[in-house]
Structure 1
Amino acid sequence: MKKVSIIGSTGSIGCQALDVAYNNPDKIKIVGLSAGKNIELLIKQVKEFQPKVVSVSSVEHAGLLQKEFGASKGIDIYHGSEGLLAVAGCEDADIVLTAVTGTVGLAPTLKAIESGKDLALANKETLVAAGPLVMAEAGARGVKIYPVDSEHSAIWQCLNGEDTKALSRLILTASGGPFRNLPQKEMDAITPEQALKHPNWNMGSKITIDSATLMNKGLEVIEARWLFDVDFDKVDVLVHPQSIVHSMVEFIDGSVMAHLGIPDMRIPIQYALSNPHRWPNNLPKLDLMQVAHLTFERPDLDRFPCLKLAYQAGRIGGTMPAVLNAANEVAVERFLRKEIAFTDIPKTVSRVMEKHQRVASPTLEDILQADRWAREAAYQF
C-alpha cells in the first residue's frame, strides 16, 4: 500500500492521480491533499478519500473546510504556505506527488525531501529554477525522484537497467502544439481560446499555453538535464505530432529505445506511484494499426523562439533558468488575460533575460530573489 500526499489535487494532474488512486484502492491510500481555490472540488475529494491532512490557499476556505468536516473527522486543516508544507511533510506519506505549476512547487518539494519522502515530480519548474539544489538535497537524504511528465517517464523507463555510461543522447518528443503549421505572419492574432485547444493532451491552462509556444519543451529540456545528469548537448527535441512516441534514448552503439503509448497522463502517473511494479488499468491500449503513421520533424526555432531561449538559459545556468521560468509565467498569465499578444510571450522572456545579472552559484534565497525580480521586470515590460 502506497501512502500518497498530493500537492495540487484539484488541477489536471492531481485529478488524474486521484483517478488512478480510485481505481487502485487496495494499492494507494491518499493521506494528504492540498489545493488552491477550487473548494467545491476539494470537498468532494476529501469526502471520497478521507485524507489526514488537507490544505487550501486562504483562511476563508480553511474555515469552510473546518465547518464541513470539523475535528470529529480527524482531518487536520491548514491554509497558505504553511499548509503546503504540512501536506508535503505529512508523517504518514511514503511519496509526495507535486502536481502544481510554477515555482510555488519549490518549497513543498524541498519540504518533502527534508522529510525523507520520495517524490513523484510533475512540477517541472522546481528543477528548472533550482535543479542543482533539489538534486543535491535528494541525493544527500537518499530520496528518490520519479518523473511524472510523460517525456521524462519515457526516458526513465528506457534507461531502466541500462548503463548510463552507454548513453549517447536523450530525444524529447513534442506534439508541436496547435500552431505547428500556422504561418508566422498569423501568429500575432492567436487568441487564448485558440491556444488552449491542444490537439492531443488534456492539461491545465498554463501548461497548454507553454505547449503552444514550445516553452514547455524547453522547460523539459532543463528538467531532463538534472533528472538524468546529462549535458544540454545530449538533449535533443523532435516534433512528433501524433504524441505516441513519448521520448527516446540513443545509446553509443547506435541503438535507440523508444517508449510508446496512448497520450494519457494517467499512465505515467500510475507508473511513478507503482514503481518498481506495473499495475493493470482499464485505459485503452495502443493500436499501432490504427495509428498507422509516426512522423518526426525538427522544431522551428524561428517561429517558436521559447525553446531556443530555454536552451540558452540552461546553458548560462545559475539564476538564469529561474528568471526564464518566472518571466514566462507572468507573460502567459498576461496573455491569458488578453493583455499581450501570443508573440509577446517570447519577447517578454527574452527582454527580461537580457536585463538579468546572473548569480553563478546561487543559494535558495538567490533563486527566490531572481524569481521575484524577473516577475517584476516582466510586468514592467
Structure 2
Amino acid sequence: MTSAPARRLVLLGSTGSIGTQALDVLHRFPGIARVHGLAVGGSRPELVAEQVLAHRPEHLVVSDVARADEVEAAVQRACRTSGLTAPRIAAGQDAVIDVAGSLGEGDVVLNAITGSVGLLPTLAVLASGARLALANKESLVVGGHLVTEAATPGQILPVDSEHTAIAQALAGVRHDQIDHLVVTASGGPFRGRSREQLAGVTPEQALNHPTWSMGRVITTNSATLVNKALEVIEACFQFDLPEDRVQVVVHPQSIVHSMVTLVDGATIAQASPPDMRHAIGWALAHPEKLPGLATALDFSTAQSWTFEPVDEDTFDAIALARAAHREGGGAMAVYNAANEEAVDAFFAGRLDFLGITALIRAVLEHPERPRAAHADGVAGLLAVESWARETGQALISSRER
C-alpha cells in the first residue's frame, strides 16, 4: 500500500455479512481507509456499538426509524464506558442517502445494503463522484441504465465473487475481444433435486448453503437460483453485454468464481477459495493488492473441479430473468420486487419453496402490469416496483384463501 493518507469510507449495511467482513478487512489493513460513516438497519444494536468503538465513525445512520433509539442507547452506553465521544446519529432512509452522497472523489462507499432499497444510495454515491464498491446487486438489476449512465468509467467496482472475478479476468482485455462471460454457480443446497423433491423444502433447509455463509435473503436466493439470475443481469450492465452473452455453469466447488471467453477461443478464469474477503479487499484497495488477504489455493494436494449445466427445467429463475431483461420497461424491477415479497412470505410460512419463482412468474405475467419508459427515471421504476409488491402480496393472500 502507498504511504498517502487513507481515503474516507462510508459503509452501508455494516452489520450484514459483507459489512462485517469488510470491517474485518479494514481492521487488518488500516491503511486502506478510515471509516467516516456507517449505516445499519438497526436489528443488532450491540454489534453496532462494537463497530463504533472499533472504527470511530463520525456519522452513524439507522435506516429503521423504529430501532434508532435502541441503537443510539447501545452506542451511547458503550462510548460512555470507553470514554469516547459518540458519533452523530441520524435515522431514516433519507439519512442513508445523505451519508451515501457525503463523500467525494478519492473516497469510497461500500454499498452492502440488501434489496432494491439500495438503489437511491447508489445513485447518491455516483452523483458525489466517490468510488462505489457495489455489493448491492439490486441497484444494477433494478436501476440498470440509470446507474450505468450516472457512473463515470471505472467508478463502480463490483463486490461480488463472480463479478470481481470477471473484472480481474478482463484486466488488459478490450471490450471487442470478449466473446462471452461464464458466471459460475454452486448450484445451492438442492442441486440435483427434481421439482417434486423441492415441494416440501423448509426455510431451514434453504439456508443450509454448501459453500458460502451469507444473509437470509441472498442464501434463499441462492437456493432458488434467483441470486444467479440477478447476477446475470448485473453482469449485463456491469460489463455492457446482452444477456445471451452471459452464460451460467454449475461449479459445486465454488473455486472458479467466473470466466471470460475471448474471441480467439481462449478462456480466462479467476480461482480462489470461497472467501468474500477477496472481492471486498479487491474493491476497497483497488488497484493495490493486499498481501495475505485470504488463503490461497494449495496445488500441492490432489483436487478436482467439476462443471455442469444448469437444470433450468427445475430451476426456472434464470430463464425468467433473461426474458424480463430482454423485455425492459421495468420488468426486472418487477422481478426483483416480487422475489423479495415471495422470500418474506416463504419464511412466514405463507408460501412454499416452489411458490417463490411461481409468484415471480405470476406477477411478471399479470395482465395489468405497468411498464416504465426509460424517460420515467427513478420515479417510474419505483412506481412499477410498488405495484409489483402490492400485486405480489395480493396474490399470496389469494393463495391462502
Match of 2:35 in 1: 30
- Relative distance call for 1:296 and 1:41 in structure 2 (3 A) is same
Does 2:60 correspond to 1:54? yes
Cα distance, 1:338 vs structure 2: 1.9
Match of 1:42 in 2: 48
Does 2:286 correspond to 1:275? yes
Cα distance between partner residues in 2 of 1:289 and 1:300:
33
Is the Cα contact below 8 Å between 2:75 and 2:86 reproduced in 1? no
- The letter of the residue matching 1:87 is V
- The letter of the residue matching 2:98 is A
- The letter of the residue matching 1:76 is R
1:116-155 to structure 2, matched below 5 A, reads 116-139=129-152, 144-155=155-166
Is the Cα contact below 8 Å between 1:65 and 1:77 reproduced in 2? no
Cα distance, 1:72 vs structure 2: 7.3
Cα distance, 1:82 vs structure 2: 2.5
Match of 2:313 in 1: 302
- The letter of the residue matching 1:98 is N
Cα distance, 1:66 vs structure 2: 6.7
Does 2:383 correspond to 1:372? no
Cα distance, 1:75 vs structure 2: 2.0
Cα distance between partner residues in 1 of 2:124 and 2:57:
19
Match of 1:84 in 2: 96
- Relative distance call for 1:323 and 1:290 in structure 2 (3 A) is farther
Cα distance between partner residues in 1 of 2:159 and 2:137:
9
2:277 pairs with 261, 266, 289, which one?
266
Cα distance, 1:137 vs structure 2: 0.8
CA offset digits 1:144-198 (Å, max 9, x no partner):
0000110000000000111111100000000000000223211110000001010
- Relative distance call for 1:296 and 1:85 in structure 2 (3 A) is same
Cα distance, 1:233 vs structure 2: 1.3
SS in structure 1 opposite 2:365?
helix
Cα distance, 1:107 vs structure 2: 1.2
Cα distance between partner residues in 2 of 1:324 and 1:245:
28
SS in structure 2 opposite 1:367?
helix
Is the Cα contact below 8 Å between 1:32 and 1:87 reproduced in 2? yes
Cα distance between partner residues in 2 of 1:347 and 1:120:
33
CA offset digits 1:306-341 (Å, max 9, x no partner):
111111111111210000000000101111222210
1:1-381 to structure 2, matched below 5 A, reads 1-37=6-42, 38-56=44-62, 57-58=64-65, 59-61=68-70, 63-64=72-73, 67-68=76-77, 69=79, 73=85, 75-91=87-103, 94-139=107-152, 144-281=155-292, 283-290=294-301, 292-355=303-366, 356-361=369-374, 362-381=376-395
- The letter of the residue matching 2:37 is G
Cα distance between partner residues in 1 of 2:88 and 2:41:
16
RMSD between aligned alpha carbons? 1.7
Is the Cα contact below 8 Å between 1:240 and 1:294 reproduced in 2? yes
- The letter of the residue matching 2:91 is H
Cα distance between partner residues in 1 of 2:141 and 2:170:
22
Cα distance between partner residues in 1 of 2:302 and 2:199:
33
- The letter of the residue matching 2:53 is K
Normalising by structure 2, we get a TM-score of: 0.91
Cα distance between partner residues in 2 of 1:66 and 1:263:
33
Cα distance, 1:65 vs structure 2: 5.6
SS in structure 2 opposite 1:278?
coil
Normalising by structure 1, we get a TM-score of: 0.96
Is the Cα contact below 8 Å between 1:261 and 1:286 reproduced in 2? yes
Cα distance, 1:62 vs structure 2: 5.5
**Unpaired runs of at least 5, structure 2:** 1-5, 396-401
- Relative distance call for 1:281 and 1:114 in structure 2 (3 A) is same
Aligned residues: 379
Cα distance between partner residues in 2 of 1:291 and 1:41:
41
